[in-house]
Amino acid sequence: MPAMVRKQFYIEQRQERQLKKLAKKTGMTEAAIIRRALDVQVHGLEEAEDRVQAWQEERAFIESWMKKGPVEGGGRKWRREDLYDRWERRHPS
């Protein structure tokens, strides 16, 4: 088990009731539930930051194409599949 650091904080009475109920239901300690909730929150924020970064990159790509202006001869020269291929290269599973 990693080294632990003691923290002391206040929660609302309803949160206290929820925490005790969840601890009883899951068999986890209250501290373990709080640690897990913190991990979930941090992970969610990191994912949100990744999504924002991805959209910023895509927006920059789109703007770079828009700056080129209309394509001579009209019509587009790319296919929808080209965009999917580009996405897969930049965001492998």
Interval 69-79: pLDDT, tens: 777 766 767 78
In a domain, 72, yes or no: no
Nearest-angstrom CA–CA distance, 22 and 31: 11
Please state the domain count of the chain. 1
In a domain, 79, yes or no: no
Question: The whole model's pTM is what?
Answer: 0.55
In a domain, 84, yes or no: no
In a domain, 81, yes or no: no
**Which phi and psi angles does 82 have, rounded to 5°?**
-60, -40
15 residue type, one letter: Q
Instruction: Output the pLDDT for position 83.
Output: 81
In a domain, 1, yes or no: no
- pLDDT, tens only, 3-60: 999 999 999 999 999 999 999 999 999 999 999 999 999 999 888 888 888 899 899 9
Instruction: Output the pLDDT for position 2.
Output: 84
Instruction: Output the pLDDT for position 6.
Output: 92
Rounded to a whole number, what is the distance in angstroms from the first to the last CA of the chain? 31
